Structures are given as structure tokens and as C-alpha cells.
Chain A
Amino acid sequence: MQLVGKIVTGIGVVFLFSGGLGIFRLPDVYNRLQAGTKCTTLGAFFTIVGVGIMEPAWFLKTLLIALFILLTNPISNHALGRASCKSGVPLCDKSIVDKTKEFEECHREEKE
């Protein structure tokens, strides 16, 4: 049981590290948001559940914390991404497609 818990926690810690590296390295707010959401949610889930496996008396409470993170972290990061799009942060130079701009143009044509 100890070994399984350590392996699961190690997987989670590696995901957390890749999330931090993505926050530091990627060129754009939206790319950074993607790294900061996906890697961190999965990494925190695996780390907390791994601690619960290593210490079986704590399993229910760790599962509660992990499920709470799994529910709320995408919501708050989506709100941040929407806010940065609304406040006009530009995309990086290598970006190819911008769906929100296309959507706004279609919407404007429909109104006219």
C-alpha cells in the first residue's frame, strides 16, 4: 500500500512541476492558462489521493478535497480566461486562429 501511494503521489508531483514550468515558459496568457489549469488540476488530484492511499484513515477527507479541487479549479480558471479576453489581452504572434473574434464578427453581421 505504501509503494502504491508513493507512486501515485510521485505522478502527481511530476504533473505539478510541469504545470509550474509551463507557467514560466509559455509565451501567452492563454497558453499559460492552459498549462496552469490542466497540469495543476490533475497533479493536485493525484498528490492528494496518493496521500490518502498512504494513510488509509484519511482517505475520505482527502477524496473530498480532491473532488472539490476537480470541480472548482476549471471554473475559476475559465473565469480568469474570459476576463483576460474581455479586457483585451492580445494573443501571441504565432497564434493562427482566433475564434472569439470570428464569433463577434458573425454576431455583428447578424445584427446589421
Chain B
Amino acid sequence: MSEIIFLTIIGIAILLCFLRMIKGPTAPDRAVAVDTVSTITTALLVLLGFVFKRYVYLDVSLVYAVLTFIGSVAIARFLERGI
């Protein structure tokens, strides 16, 4: 029962970040929103692995964390001085 409440609250948080991503006036706003969504998704994957009782979700979450870190640094470098 409590897992459903946790998943719903995390879903509302991701929805708010998506609204900012649609609305945001400048490009760094959208980049910040995407970065926040990616961090929230890492936690959401671990929680989903607990709900479904699958150990594989932890590997998926770890690889996702590494990839989003590289992606955020690449976006920041692109915003700072171009490709």
C-alpha cells in the first residue's frame, strides 16, 4: 500500500519538472529540469525494483546514473562554449 503512495508522489514531482521543461524561458532552465528528472528517475528505478522484486533494476539504475552524469556535463560544456 505505501509503495503506491510513494510512486504517486514521485510521479507528481516528475510531472512538475516536465511542466517547467515545457515552460522554461531559456535553455539552461530546460537543462536543469532534465537533470532533476534524471536524478528522480534513478531513485524511481530502485523503488520499482523493490515493488517488482527484481534485482536487475539495480543494475539499470546504476548505469542510468553514470550515463546521466556524463550527459549533464556534456550539455553544460555545450552551453558554455559550443561544440
CB-based contact B28/A83 at 8 Å: yes
Q: List 10 A-B contacts (CB under 8 A).
A: A6-B2, A32-B33, A41-B39, A47-B6, A47-B46, A48-B61, A76-B76, A80-B75, A83-B77, A86-B81
CB-based contact B28/A68 at 8 Å: no
What residues of chain B have their CB less than 8 Å away from a CB belonging to chain A? 2, 6, 9-10, 12-17, 19-20, 26-29, 31-33, 35-36, 39-40, 42-43, 46-47, 49-50, 55, 58, 61-62, 65-66, 68-69, 72-73, 75-77, 79-81
What residue in chain A is nearest B12 (Cβ atoms)? A17
Contact size range, A: 35 or more
CB-based contact B36/A36 at 8 Å: yes
Q: How far is the CA of A69 from the CA of B68 in the complex (A)?
A: 10
Given A64-B62, A80-B35: A20 and B17 interface contact (C-beta under 8 Å)? yes
What residue in chain A is nearest B50 (Cβ atoms)? A51
Given A13-B6, A20-B13, A64-B62: A82 and B80 interface contact (C-beta under 8 Å)? yes
CB-based contact B43/A44 at 8 Å: yes
* Contact segment of A54-62, A94-102, A104-112: A54-62
Q: How far is the CA of A14 from the CA of B55 in the complex (A)?
A: 25
Q: Does A21 contact B (CB under 8 A)?
A: yes
> C-beta contact mask, A74-100 vs B, less than 8 Å → 1, else 0?
011101101110110100000000000
Give chain A residues whose Cβ lies under 8 Å from the Cβ of B81.
86
Give chain B residues whose Cβ lies under 8 Å from the Cβ of A44.
39-40, 42-43
Given A13-B10, A69-B39, A80-B31: A23 and B62 interface contact (C-beta under 8 Å)? no
